[in-house]
């Protein structure tokens, strides 16, 4: 049957990409349908119940700055919060939260159910309606035909999913869920480039069978960090600790002795796994000289005894998994509640996508999440928000939008994917961004919320909170810049105690905040009126201390933009341009771009390479 209502946007798949896509399209005012296998699994974390971490929290905060759900759901479901790299510079600081799996999922479902313009429907999608290379809708497994202007596909690890435990394998989208095979076959018939990737998960353990007394406890940070710009500590449920265990030589011996029973090492699995989240058999094999690896024993939630042993993802047979787990100190009597497994699935070469995440071959069809070769909830959520936004803009007859590499990690993620593609599951790192100091997790709102408001993604309440914060930062910066400390005053004496040399002239408080020895709390209470909002104080302090570096990065970006029209001489010998990789030299030699802007648009030619070309041109003159 044809469903009687016509939608603006259909989103297929209610994982991390699909839920952000559906919420974004609906926030834009589009009539949106979210079609998913099972409403009970909306927002389900397929693997470890944790959000954020290095590079990833930047994406979570960008999703949040653009009005998305992930950060707020983390504040509502987070049971242990930490700031990683807290002693390092602000560019690489990253908030990570252990989440209660059930609370997180409930928070996402609540937001979906309460979102105006959004309709949910539970059923697998087997087919797309495509006419004249344009998608027109989707057909479910019982033949219901839903029609829409645009479709966003967010099917995760489900397309042609095969689950492996030892030499046994069976079809599945993830443990307990069916694969999406009919849809996978249909997509394979369309002109996309399809390959296989793999990922894996560890066995889960019953906490009642673990001896915590011999494990190292790892509590969350105090004061407890908060993930969302709209979040607060009061939103958090009670907090819990994680624990740290270690593999040992015996563990590694067991793994080595059974590698021939691993589907990865016996050639049963063809897909490439995530390099930065390897299985324990991979770690033991690749780092054969290491006698121990850390295992973080993480709670799955407050109302369950199940534990997630982070660091021993495996697809070895169950009997070997049990030996591996029980070889670890503290886990000698551990009971495994669910075996670990690996999953292989179809993904599509993201070079077949535009910056908007629309496919190049089928108009109005957008792809987001693991289907594009990424791994991780955060990477999926960020792409989902962008694809949902652009599907809505297309339905509304508006131009697409995508952030630049100097505006957001989301810009880096999409640009990397669509220009370079990926041969292994792609995850975000701070090292992937050229302008790390500008793209901090603390300033995602200052970078993106105004744009989000213009695009229709940011509601009145978020906008009001943002404006209040932005004004407070400006007011406090102005106050510090106009508050002066005289040498030999009582105030100077207090500061001199912390400084290598006493102050010898008058300084304003903002200048003093640039000193590495002084913090906001050292100078703020001078001349009354220190701000109590920690986020405002943090922002003022970062801007003071890093202004020089931030300005320099901004200059670099402006310079590159100014020189985009600069011609590249026809006779340029790229082999003689110092600092370029061989791959980029070959690409430039083959393409012979006429301007720097054209060079920058060649797949794989990074902004850093364009900078090198600019310097080379200056030297030639
Ligand atoms: P998913 O979260 O997979 O969601 C897909 C959704 O689409 C599901 O709700 C599904 O039911 C629905 N769906 C699929 N096909 C259809 C259809 N035809 N019709 C209707 N609905 C459909 N990430 C990490 O960062 N680290 C890890 O260690 C890690 N390990 C993993 C281990 C395993 C075993 C798995 C399965 C995943 C792992 N991941 C890991 C990846 C992480 O789960 C994904 O990156 C993330 O969930 C991707 O989000 P997504 O929205 O793209 O897809």
Q: What is the pLDDT of residue 553?
A: 85
| DSSP assignments along 323-363, one per residue | HHHHTSTT-TT--EEE--EEEEEEEE-GGGB-TTSBBSSSB
Pair of tokens at residue 404: 């630049």
Residues whose beta carbon lies within 6 Å of some atom of ligand 1? 12-18, 35-38, 41, 46-48, 124-125, 154-158, 173-174, 177, 180, 183, 199-201, 277, 343, 369-370, 375-377, 380
**Residue with the two structure tokens 């009970």:** 40
Find the mean pLDDT for residues 10-21: 98
Can you list the alpha helix ranges (DSSP code H) found in 176-311? 181-189, 249-257, 280-286
Q: What is the pLDDT of residue 565?
A: 82
Find the mean pLDDT for residues 378-386: 98
Given pLDDT bands bounded at 50, 70 and 90, which one contains residue 528?
low
The packing angle between helices 460-481 and 444-455, to 10°, is: 140
- Is it the case that residue 227 has pLDDT exceeding 80? yes
Q: If you ran DSSP here, which 8-state letter would residue 458 be given?
A: S
Find the mean pLDDT for residues 402-415: 94
Q: If you ran DSSP here, which 8-state letter would residue 157 be given?
A: T
Which residues have CB under 8 Å from 167's CB, separation 6+?
Answer: 261, 263, 266, 268, 317
Q: What is the pLDDT of residue 620?
A: 74
CA 564 to chain centre: 30
- Is it the case that residue 110 has pLDDT exceeding 80? yes
Residue bearing the bigger pLDDT, 563 or 104: 104
Closest CA to 384 of 10, 57, 22, 37: 22
Judge contact between 399 and 33, C-beta under 8 A.
Answer: no
- Is it the case that residue 355 has pLDDT exceeding 80? yes
Closest CA to 109 of 154, 43, 160: 43
- Nearest atom of ligand 1 to the alpha carbon of 125: 19
CA 323 to chain centre: 34
- Is it the case that residue 527 has pLDDT exceeding 70? no
Find the mean pLDDT for residues 557-569: 84
- Is it the case that residue 162 has pLDDT exceeding 80? yes
- Nearest atom of ligand 1 to the alpha carbon of 174: 36
The Cα–Cα gap between 409 and 55 comes to 8
Can you list the alpha helix ranges (DSSP code H) found in 421-519? 444-455, 460-481, 490-496, 509-513
- Is it the case that residue 361 has pLDDT exceeding 70? yes
Closest CA to 187 of 22, 15, 348: 348
Q: Which residues are 195's β-sheet partners?
A: 347
Q: How far is CA 480 from CA 500, 521, 541, in A?
A: 22, 12, 11
Residue nearest to atom 40 of ligand 1 (CA): 376
Averaged pLDDT of the chain: 93
- Nearest atom of ligand 1 to the alpha carbon of 163: 34
Q: Judging by beta carbons within 10 Å of its beta carbon (0-12, 13-18, 19+), is residue 597 exposed, middle or buried?
A: middle
The Cα–Cα gap between 74 and 377 comes to 12
Pair of tokens at residue 416: 């990397």
Query: Beta strand pairing status for 242-246 and 50-52?
Result: unpaired
- Is it the case that residue 529 has pLDDT exceeding 90? no
Which residues have CB under 8 Å from 545's CB, separation 6+?
Answer: 513, 514, 516
Residue nearest to atom 45 of ligand 1 (CA): 376
* 20, 49, 375, 385, best to mutate for ligand 1 pocket (most atoms within 8 Å of CB): 375
- Is it the case that residue 621 has pLDDT exceeding 80? no
- Nearest atom of ligand 1 to the alpha carbon of 56: 25
Find the mean pLDDT for residues 39-57: 95
How many Å lie between the centroid of ligand 1 and the Cα of residue 266? Answer: 25
- Is it the case that residue 610 has pLDDT exceeding 90? no
Q: How far is CA 596 from CA 289, 330, 412, 611, in A?
A: 46, 59, 19, 9
Closest CA to 365 of 184, 156, 603, 187: 187
Residue bearing the bigger pLDDT, 447 or 260: 447
The Cα–Cα gap between 457 and 460 comes to 10
Closest CA to 560 of 428, 434, 425, 429: 434
Judge contact between 272 and 423, C-beta under 8 A.
Answer: yes
Judge contact between 594 and 602, C-beta under 8 A.
Answer: no
* 156, 367, 382, best to mutate for ligand 1 pocket (most atoms within 8 Å of CB): 156
**Per-residue pLDDT tens for 582-606?**
888 988 998 898 888 888 877 678 7
Given pLDDT bands bounded at 50, 70 and 90, which one contains residue 460?
very high
Given pLDDT bands bounded at 50, 70 and 90, which one contains residue 526?
low
The packing angle between helices 318-326 and 249-257, to 10°, is: 170
Query: Beta strand pairing status for 125-131 and 50-52?
Result: unpaired
The Cα–Cα gap between 318 and 320 comes to 5
Residue nearest to atom 26 of ligand 1 (CA): 376
Find the mean pLDDT for residues 333-340: 97
- Is it the case that residue 474 has pLDDT exceeding 80? yes
Long-range Cβ contact pairs of 96-99 (< 8 A, separation 24 or more): 96/50, 96/51, 96/52, 96/53, 96/56, 96/57, 97/50, 97/51, 97/52, 97/225, 97/227, 98/49, 98/50, 98/220, 98/240, 98/242, 98/298, 98/299, 99/45, 99/49, 99/50, 99/51, 99/73, 99/74
**Per-residue pLDDT tens for 284-320?**
888 888 999 999 999 999 999 999 999 999 999 999 9
Q: What is the pLDDT of residue 265?
A: 79
Given pLDDT bands bounded at 50, 70 and 90, which one contains residue 262?
confident
How many Å lie between the centroid of ligand 1 and the Cα of residue 16? Answer: 8
Long-range Cβ contact pairs of 568-575 (< 8 A, separation 24 or more): 568/593, 568/594, 568/595, 568/596, 568/598, 568/599, 568/613, 568/617, 569/620
Q: What is the pLDDT of residue 214?
A: 97
Find the mean pLDDT for residues 455-461: 97
Query: Beta strand pairing status for 145-153 and 118-122?
Result: unpaired
Which residues have CB under 8 Å from 467's CB, separation 6+?
Answer: none
């Amino acid at each position: 049957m044809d469903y009687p209502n016509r939608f603006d946007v259909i989103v297929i798949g209610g994982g991390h990409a699909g839920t952000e896509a559906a919420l974004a399209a609906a926030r834009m005012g589009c009539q949106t349908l979210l079609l998913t296998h099972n409403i009970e699994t909306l927002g389900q974390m397929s693997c470890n119940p944790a959000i954020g971490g290095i590079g990833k929290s930047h994406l979570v905060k960008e999703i949040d700055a653009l009005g998305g759900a992930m950060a707020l759901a983390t504040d509502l479901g987070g049971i242990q919060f930490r700031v990683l790299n807290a002693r390092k510079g602000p560019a690489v600081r990253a908030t990570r939260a252990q989440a209660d799996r059930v609370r997180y999922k409930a928070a996402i479902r609540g937001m979906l159910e309460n979102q105006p313009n959004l309709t949910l429907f539970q059923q697998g999608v087997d087919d797309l309606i495509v006419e004249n290379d344009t998608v027109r809708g989707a057909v479910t497994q019982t033949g219901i035909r839903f029609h829409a202007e645009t479709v966003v596909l967010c099917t995760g690890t489900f397309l042609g999913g095969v689950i492996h435990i030892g030499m046994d394998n069976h079809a599945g989208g993830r443990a307990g869920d069916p694969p999406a095979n009919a849809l996978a076959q249909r997509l394979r018939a369309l002109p996309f480039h399809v390959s296989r990737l793999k990922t894996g998960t560890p066995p889960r353990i019953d906490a009642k069978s673990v001896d915590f007394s011999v494990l190292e406890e790892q509590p969350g940070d105090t004061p407890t960090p908060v993930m969302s710009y709209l979040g607060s500590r009061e939103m958090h449920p009670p907090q819990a600790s994680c624990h740290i265990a270690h593999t040992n030589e015996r563990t590694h011996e067991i793994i080595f002795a059974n590698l021939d029973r691993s589907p990865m090492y016996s050639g049963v699995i063809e897909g490439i796994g995530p390099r930065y989240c390897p299985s324990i058999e991979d770690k033991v094999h690749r780092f054969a000289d290491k006698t121990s690896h850390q295992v973080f024993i993480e709670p799955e939630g407050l109302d369950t005894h199940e534990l997630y042993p982070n660091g021993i993802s495996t697809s070895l047979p169950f009997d070997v998994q049990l030996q591996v787990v029980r070889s670890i100190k503290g886990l000698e009597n551990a009971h495994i509640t669910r075996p670990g497994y690996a999953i292989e699935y179809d993904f599509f070469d993201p070079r077949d996508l535009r910056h908007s995440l629309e496919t190049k071959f089928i108009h109005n069809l957008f792809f987001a999440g693991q289907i594009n070769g990424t791994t991780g909830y955060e990477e999926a959520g960020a792409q989902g928000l962008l694809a949902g936004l652009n599907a809505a803009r297309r339905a509304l007859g508006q131009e697409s939008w995508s952030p630049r590499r100097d505006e957001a990690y989301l810009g880096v993620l999409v640009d990397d994917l669509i220009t370079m593609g990926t041969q292994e599951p792609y995850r975000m790192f701070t090292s992937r961004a050229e302008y790390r100091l500008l793209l901090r997790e603390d300033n995602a709102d200052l970078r993106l919320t105004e744009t989000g408001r213009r695009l229709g993604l940011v509601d009145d309440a978020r906008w009001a909170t943002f404006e209040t914060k932005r004004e407070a930062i400006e007011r406090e910066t102005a106050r510090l810049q106009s508050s002066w400390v005289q040498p030999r005053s009582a105030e100077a004496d207090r500061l001199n105690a912390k400084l290598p040399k006493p102050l010898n002239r008058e300084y304003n408080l903002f200048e003093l905040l640039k000193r590495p020895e002084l913090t906001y709390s050292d100078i703020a209470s001078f001349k009354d009126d220190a701000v109590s909002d920690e986020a405002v104080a943090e922002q003022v302090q970062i801007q003071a201390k890093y202004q020089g570096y931030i300005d320099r990065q901004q200059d670099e970006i402006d310079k590159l933009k100014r020189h985009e029209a600069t011609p590249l001489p026809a006779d340029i010998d790229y082999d003689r341009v110092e600092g370029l990789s061989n791959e980029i030299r070959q690409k430039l030699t083959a393409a012979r771009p006429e301007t720097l802007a054209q060079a920058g648009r060649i797949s794989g030619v990074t902004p850093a390479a364009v900078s090198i070309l600019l310097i080379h041109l200056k030297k030639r003159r």
